């Protein structure tokens, strides 16, 4: 369970109503049942539930069970989609090990104004669900050239390009990453309408970028995101 408070042994934490209801009535946790907490800064802590009402409860923090882990060093850049699928994208990015989630506004981006707070809430929920202790950061939307400039030169950017020649993606990733230690990584997935020609030129002009085909079929942007994140993690992720 994600909390915002600083955590320490012996602390008594009143739970927010929705969280208390979730623990008591959805997970049906009872008094003295263990609850694992994290705040994204101090690792994981065990607490016990002290119900104080049918829909209210406190947590009594006991001890730390896992040390804090750093954010994964994988940046996920994507052109926003309609909000329901945006929730999905944010959650899959967290599950697939993204440490930074960076919305990129492109010419054909369809999504209305990006609700960053909603994306951040999705990142917290996904972190709770997949058991990670660092909550991936969601950046404010940036236009494509600004987003590309914000990436460190040494970060290998894997650009999902449905027009790239269909080749062996594993070999292409390995060749781009070079031998030895994998470089810091970023992935870039376009909008439903794809990238505009001038955007493709901007992307291609960035050194340390590999245009990667994900096969001969045109994937939906949210499908492409999961595919490329899984590939990058499997080939270059060394267990990240
Ligand atoms: N240009 C496509 C078209 O005309 O239908 C639309 C783009 S596709 C729906 C959305 C994004 O997913 C693309 O910008 C690209 O980043 C990624 N993508 C989809 N299929 C892909 C493939 N086979 N290989 C690499 N990337 C792909």
Helices (H), 108-220: 116-130, 144-149, 169-177, 197-205
Q: Is the pLDDT of residue 32 over 80?
A: no
Mutate to test the pocket of ligand 1, among 77, 79, 111, 160 (most ligand atoms within 8 A of CB): 160
Q: Taking residues 30-59, what's their average pLDDT?
A: 89
CA of 88 to the centre of ligand 1 (A): 17
Residues 6+ positions from 98 with CB-CB distance below 8 Å:
72, 74, 75, 76, 136, 229
What's the DSSP call for residue 135?
P
Confidence of residue 30 (pLDDT cuts 50, 70, 90): confident
* Closest-lying ligand 1 atom to the alpha carbon of residue 193: 6
> Between residues 126 and 51, which one has the greater pLDDT?
126
**What pLDDT is attached to residue 97?**
95
**What pLDDT is attached to residue 148?**
97
* Closest-lying ligand 1 atom to the alpha carbon of residue 212: 25
- The first and second tokens of residue 7, run together, are 């955590």
Assess whether the C-beta atom of 79 lies below 6 angstroms from ligand 1: no
CA of 171 to the centre of ligand 1 (A): 20
Confidence of residue 73 (pLDDT cuts 50, 70, 90): very high
* Closest-lying ligand 1 atom to the alpha carbon of residue 195: 14
Tens-digit pLDDT profile for residues 79-106: 988 777 889 999 999 999 999 999 999 9
CA of 121 to the centre of ligand 1 (A): 27
Q: Taking residues 67-83, what's their average pLDDT?
A: 92
The predicted model scores a pTM of 0.90
* Closest-lying ligand 1 atom to the alpha carbon of residue 159: 16
Q: Taking residues 16-26, what's their average pLDDT?
A: 88
Q: Taking residues 159-181, what's their average pLDDT?
A: 92
The protein residue whose alpha carbon is closest to atom 13 in ligand 1 is: 190
**Per-residue buried b or exposed e for 139-152, using 16+ beta carbons within 10 Å of the residue's own CB:** bebbebeebbeebe
Confidence of residue 111 (pLDDT cuts 50, 70, 90): low
> Between residues 24 and 95, which one has the greater pLDDT?
95
**What pLDDT is attached to residue 240?**
62
Under 8 Å between Cβ of 59 and 84: no
**What pLDDT is attached to residue 22?**
87
Q: Determine which of 15-19, 101-105, 152-156, 158-162 has the lowest per-residue pLDDT on average.
A: 15-19
The protein residue whose alpha carbon is closest to atom 21 in ligand 1 is: 162
How much is the mean pLDDT over the chain?
Answer: 92
Assess whether the C-beta atom of 169 lies below 6 angstroms from ligand 1: no
Q: Taking residues 108-114, what's their average pLDDT?
A: 78
């Amino acid at each position: 369970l994600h909390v915002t408070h600083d955590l320490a042994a012996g602390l008594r934490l009143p739970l927010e109503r929705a969280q208390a209801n979730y623990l008591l009535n959805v997970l049906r946790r009872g008094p003295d049942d263990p609850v694992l907490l994290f705040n994204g800064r101090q690792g994981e802590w065990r607490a016990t539930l002290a119900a104080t009402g049918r829909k209210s409860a406190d947590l009594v923090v006991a001890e730390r069970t896992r040390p804090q882990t750093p954010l994964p060093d994988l940046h996920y850049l994507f052109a926003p989609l309609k909000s329901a699928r945006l929730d999905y994208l944010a959650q899959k990015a967290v599950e697939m090990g993204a440490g930074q989630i960076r919305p990129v506004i492109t010419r054909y981006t369809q999504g209305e104004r990006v609700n960053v707070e909603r994306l951040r809430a999705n990142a917290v929920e996904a972190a709770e669900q997949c058991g990670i202790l660092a909550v991936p950061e969601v950046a404010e939307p940036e236009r494509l050239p600004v987003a590309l400039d914000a990436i460190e030169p040494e970060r290998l950017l894997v650009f999902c390009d449905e027009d790239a020649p269909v080749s062996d993606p594993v070999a292409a990733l390995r060749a781009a990453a070079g031998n030895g230690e994998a470089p810091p990584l970023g992935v870039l997935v376009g909008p439903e309408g794809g990238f505009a020609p001038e955007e493709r030129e901007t992307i291609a002009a960035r050194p340390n970028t590999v245009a990667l085909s994900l096969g001969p079929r045109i994937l939906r942007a949210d499908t492409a995101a999961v595919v490329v994140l899984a590939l990058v993690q499997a080939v270059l992720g060394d267990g990240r």
